[in-house]
Structure 1
Amino acid sequence: MKMNFRGMTLAALLLSASQTAYADDSQVEYDGDGTVTPVAFVGDMPSQSEDAYFAADANEASRLQRMRQAKNVSTANHQVVRATSRPAASRPATTVATRTVAPQVAPQTRQVQYAPISAMQLQPAGHQQVQQVGLFGGGYSACDAPGGCDMPGCDSPGCSLFGGGQIGSGFSRGGCSGSSCDGGCDSGNCGSSSCGGLAGLFGLCSRDGWARHEALLWFVQDRKSPSLITTSAPGTLPELPNATTRFGGEINGDMSFGYRGDMGVYLTDNVGVGGRLWWLDDNEDSLSLSGNGSDQSIGRPFFDTTTNDENSLLVALQNNFAGSVSAISKLEMMAAEGYARINLGCTKSCQLDLIGGYSYFSVDDSLRITSTSIQNSNGRTRTYSDLFDTENTMHGGQIGFEAVVSNGRWFARSLTKVHLGNMNQMIRIAGTSTDRTVGPGTSANSGFLALGNQGTWERDEFTFVPEMNFKLGYRFRKHVEMSVGYTFLMFDSLALAGDQIDRNIDPSSLNTSGPHGTRPAFDFNDSSLWLQGLDLGMAITF
């Protein structure tokens, strides 16, 4: 009995092996919904699912079907191989019915998705779509457009905000299409430009804007005034014409340091807007003297209307007076501009722009003189202080031209323009004095030169201010240039402090609050003033 059981077990195992030998990867059937079902026969275990034995075969068949669909290959004429089961000794044979499925065609969407692409659709990394746009006709919006930033000879500023390439007139951003009008970058110092950094943050290409910064070393014209402080040999009267003028006559206009900034952006290929601001440190001239007359005589000269002769207020005289005197002149200047520029024309190595806009100038000039005289005989002390202050404010327009000529990395820039408009002139004259021998003394609202002419006056005058600037520069990098230049600027009509002084005095009016005599009198006086000097600059384009 034991031997028969072992024989039956061996027979059952052999039967199962013969059944599974018919299972193959190609034995699959295709349902109507496109799914794949593997076909297998298990003769001795009909109660078990085929997936339990052939899960791996089912997965592999599904993978093959997906590959066929991706390659748009139709599956045709797949026939299911029928396996003939051999009945087991203990149970009837099991047969699985089969069916023939029509060939499947890959869906149209799959065909489009995996369709080949043409060579025209292949673009390098970072490529930008080029679109023809432009406010004034034509141009390209991308940095890599024809004639754009990456052409030889980019100008400062190069490509366009609304069209950085060629337009109908033949100009490009800040210059000609494909060549330089401001920088001669043909030598290779420009290279290919790209949108990025600060420019890319605002959607600008790499040459849409400019920022110029300059250190100014300017000289101011000497300003005129009457002789205000004189000296002479000890024991002599410091009266003109025999005395020496120590302050006044001409107030020295020494060198002043300053700053000028110019920033702007191009709105189209040929139209840009910008602003400029400059100012100078106070231009000062001063003098301070003191003594007892033993070394020199010191005085404040004037023309005496009672004697019709020269006279002087004694500050220091040997054996008579001891005292001190000081004077200071201060000139303050600044300007601000807002302008537009239009490209009029250019060639490969030059460019010409028309400039027009708004101009503002402020010129303030002041002159203060203070003296103290002590009489040796009785100790009488007299103090006089005079102030002459002027303010000039101009509001107007400007028009001019800027030309640029370049050769490689070297360039020359010339700016000529004129400012036209209204100059408001305001003048203020004030004085104080004290006279004390013993005790508190007396004070008066009048000085030595500021008597009946005290007050505040104002008027408006039409004026013009011509300006000329020339620069020679070199481009060290694609976006950086250094330059040295010369600037000349002239104001046609300014009210300056020294011009408002009347040196004709009635001595009887001194140390009184009034009424004063007819002199000194006030009269509006103006004069011209020029500035000139060196500019040391650096420019950055972005």
Structure 2
Amino acid sequence: MLKRQNLARWSLWLVQHLRLPQSGRFVASHIAASVAFAVCLMAASPVEAQSPSNSGRQARGPVRPGNTSRSAAPARKQAKPHDPVVTAASHQEIIEGDVILDGGYEVQGSNIGCDSCGGGGCDSCSVGGPLCDSCHVPHRFCICFPAHGWVHAEYLLWYQSGMRLPPLVTTGSGANQATAGVLGAATTSTLFGDDVVQDGDRSGFRIRFGWWLGAFPGWGVEGEYVGLGENTETFTAASTGTPVLARPFFNVLTGAEDAQLLAFPAMIGGDVTATTTSQLDGAAVRFRRQLYSTSGCGYSPWYCQTVPTSTRLDGTVGYRFWELDESLQIQERLTSQLPAPDDGTFNIVDRFATRNQFNGGEIGFMWQGRRGWWSMDALMRLGIGNVHQTVTVSGTSTIVNSVSGTNTTANGILAQRTNIGTFERNEFTMVPELGVTLGYQLTRRLRMTAGYSLVYWGNVVRPGDQVDLNVNPELFAPEVSPFTGANRPQFQFVETDYWVHGLNFGGEFRW
């Protein structure tokens, strides 16, 4: 303060003793008076000096604790009226290392938001900041594309709820043709069906990608694709007559269980192949909004020091698509061992295919917590919309006989003219999704992840549920004419629930 008062006195003395003209002395006296007045104001008011280390924007979020050093800075001193100058030091720790914003974005300088725009776009952006500071175009056109973004690719090891099938292939004793392979007979056992298929592990992949919109702070857009490739399971059985092979059904003419023989001693032989397929695909486009975030320091059980911590909560809203395609096919190739006119070969196919397509809106929440290099993510989403169900039933029979030649008809055993066709309808449904992921930050931009996901889908149609075992055998090729009895099998929609869950392993890259 004394130095500033002396400076004011010296300014006045110079004006009085310099040999200046009257006009120049008048101007100089005004300048000196202004300097003296400013110095007096500075001396009378306490000034708080800012630590150079705190002049820029403080980085938020996790800090990769590399070579960590700390300086325990003193607390900010309270200014008193009689103190001319109060010097304050930062109360925050100084931690060396790679600084990463909430969500994993590297801090580069103090640029938050758009610094400048030209040509209708932004030169540089970062998430969470204000709109463009200076633009040559209206703010609504100042969009960074892309701003800070991310790509998350994962390998999926998932399991789905199995497809239930009725009894489709049986075996039994060759002693009695009337009861061979018939359900309920003491010697009959089921070789294929009356069980669940397509319930094993499935391999697939999922990719999520997106970016934050610099012109709209806290808003981002994300795309997603999920694919579980087509999985095929096959059952095959063959016999020249022993053991017995049969296709069971309920005979509506006799009102009792019956069976079509595929292999029986001295009568017929052949093979049967049953194939099931299943494929799941999904996609989504959603907006992402940061709702809440915190950052601070916490104790690390792996280091004798504190580490940066952060949490954030994002809300999502968008469009969700799922498609489940499945099929069941039974094919039999038989050769008669009887003489003409009952000789010949038979190639018979039944096929049931289903498709479920979900289109709807999606809302959800995503939470993320970070502690040092480690992170945990949790998500909860709900899709609400329409499922378009499609069931296709088809069949063919090709018979080659020495007397009648070759004949092909559009029917099989369980697929007859009474239920063959394509059937469609729409149903309301909901598809919730849950997920949890653990992550480890390898570098400033790369994070390795491992997690668990669960998707539930109500109101789906699956092939095995659309099979009607009630059959009128007069429909078998060649069809009996005139036809009598009930028109069976028949088609009707049968719904069930579907879920898929499993482990995810992958990596996330952010820029």
Residue of structure 2 in register with 1:331 after alignment? 278
Residue of structure 2 in register with 1:306 after alignment? 253
Match of 1:146 among 57, 60, 75: 57
Structure 1 residue 318: Cα displacement:
2.6
The answer to whether structure 1 residue 502 and structure 2 residue 468 are counterparts is yes
Distance 1:194 1:229, change over 3 A: farther
| d(CA) in 2 for partners of 1:466, 1:340 | 18
| d(CA) in 2 for partners of 1:275, 1:193 | 29
Cα deviations across residues 14-55 of structure 1 (Å, max 9, x unaligned)? Answer: xxxxxxxxxxxxxxxxxxxxxxxxxxxxxxxxxxxxxxxxxx
Residue of structure 1 in register with 2:240 after alignment? 292
The answer to whether structure 1 residue 479 and structure 2 residue 445 are counterparts is yes
| d(CA) in 2 for partners of 1:366, 1:319 | 34
| d(CA) in 2 for partners of 1:193, 1:430 | 66
Distance 1:370 1:407, change over 3 A: same
Is this contact kept in 2: 1:503–1:520, CA < 8 A? Answer: yes
The answer to whether structure 1 residue 535 and structure 2 residue 504 are counterparts is yes
Distance 1:487 1:204, change over 3 A: farther
Residue of structure 2 in register with 1:83 after alignment? none
Cα deviations across residues 484-513 of structure 1 (Å, max 9, x unaligned)? Answer: 111111110111111111010011110046
TM-score relative to the length of structure 1: 0.63
Letter in 2 for 1:231: T
Distance 1:383 1:405, change over 3 A: same
Number of matched pairs: 365
Letter in 1 for 2:456: M
| d(CA) in 2 for partners of 1:282, 1:203 | 44
Letter in 2 for 1:347: T
Residue of structure 2 in register with 1:4 after alignment? none
The answer to whether structure 1 residue 415 and structure 2 residue 357 are counterparts is no
Letter in 1 for 2:383: H
Residue of structure 2 in register with 1:133 after alignment? none
Letter in 2 for 1:469: G
1:439-478 matches, within 5 Å, as 439=403, 440-451=405-416, 452-478=418-444
Structure 1 residue 420: Cα displacement:
0.8
| d(CA) in 2 for partners of 1:435, 1:179 | 72
SS at match of 1:306: coil
Structure 1 residue 274: Cα displacement:
0.8
Residue of structure 2 in register with 1:382 after alignment? 346
| d(CA) in 1 for partners of 2:182, 2:371 | 62
Structure 1 residue 180: Cα displacement:
5.7
Distance 1:518 1:450, change over 3 A: same
| d(CA) in 1 for partners of 2:318, 2:335 | 58
Match of 2:317 among 344, 356, 377: 356
Letter in 2 for 1:502: D
1:117-266 matches, within 5 Å, as 146-147=57-58, 150-151=59-60, 153=62, 181-182=102-103, 203-205=123-125, 208-232=148-172, 235=175, 237-242=180-185, 243-249=188-194, 250-266=196-212
Identity of aligned residues (%): 29
Letter in 2 for 1:460: N
Letter in 2 for 1:466: P
Is this contact kept in 2: 1:332–1:363, CA < 8 A? Answer: yes
Residue of structure 2 in register with 1:524 after alignment? 493
| d(CA) in 1 for partners of 2:110, 2:412 | 68
Relative to structure 2, which stretch is displaced further, 468-477 or 370-379?
370-379
Letter in 2 for 1:274: E
| d(CA) in 2 for partners of 1:254, 1:202 | 50
Structure 1 residue 436: Cα displacement:
3.1
Match of 1:269 among 204, 217, 226: 217
Is this contact kept in 2: 1:254–1:283, CA < 8 A? Answer: no
Is this contact kept in 1: 2:61–2:102, CA < 8 A? Answer: no
Distance 1:474 1:179, change over 3 A: closer
Is this contact kept in 2: 1:390–1:427, CA < 8 A? Answer: yes
Structure 1 residue 303: Cα displacement:
0.8
| d(CA) in 2 for partners of 1:222, 1:191 | 48
Distance 1:450 1:469, change over 3 A: same
TM-score relative to the length of structure 2: 0.67
Distance 1:203 1:312, change over 3 A: farther
Letter in 1 for 2:427: E
The answer to whether structure 1 residue 280 and structure 2 residue 225 are counterparts is no
| d(CA) in 2 for partners of 1:253, 1:356 | 32
| d(CA) in 2 for partners of 1:537, 1:203 | 32
| d(CA) in 1 for partners of 2:320, 2:56 | 37
| d(CA) in 1 for partners of 2:228, 2:351 | 23
Is this contact kept in 1: 2:100–2:107, CA < 8 A? Answer: no
Residue of structure 1 in register with 2:365 after alignment? 401
| d(CA) in 1 for partners of 2:173, 2:57 | 81
Match of 2:402 among 429, 434, 438: 438
| d(CA) in 2 for partners of 1:482, 1:503 | 51
Distance 1:235 1:404, change over 3 A: farther
| d(CA) in 2 for partners of 1:205, 1:475 | 23
| d(CA) in 2 for partners of 1:145, 1:392 | 55
SS at match of 1:477: coil
Higher strand share: 2
Structure 1 residue 447: Cα displacement:
1.0
Structure 1 residue 246: Cα displacement:
2.4
Cα deviations across residues 233-259 of structure 1 (Å, max 9, x unaligned)? Answer: 555612213433222222232222111
Structure 1 residue 232: Cα displacement:
3.1
Distance 1:423 1:391, change over 3 A: same
Is this contact kept in 2: 1:180–1:350, CA < 8 A? Answer: no
| d(CA) in 2 for partners of 1:145, 1:245 | 76
| d(CA) in 2 for partners of 1:343, 1:204 | 20
Letter in 1 for 2:235: L
Distance 1:152 1:413, change over 3 A: closer
SS at match of 2:167: strand
The answer to whether structure 1 residue 368 and structure 2 residue 329 are counterparts is yes
Structure 1 residue 518: Cα displacement:
1.3
Structure 1 residue 305: Cα displacement:
0.9
Is this contact kept in 2: 1:488–1:533, CA < 8 A? Answer: yes
| d(CA) in 2 for partners of 1:203, 1:241 | 77
Letter in 2 for 1:245: T
Is this contact kept in 1: 2:279–2:325, CA < 8 A? Answer: yes
| d(CA) in 1 for partners of 2:401, 2:502 | 52
The answer for unaligned runs of 5 or more in structure 1 is 1-143, 156-177
Structure 1 residue 437: Cα displacement:
2.9
| d(CA) in 2 for partners of 1:297, 1:482 | 55
Residue of structure 1 in register with 2:456 after alignment? 490
| d(CA) in 1 for partners of 2:381, 2:410 | 46
Distance 1:405 1:151, change over 3 A: closer
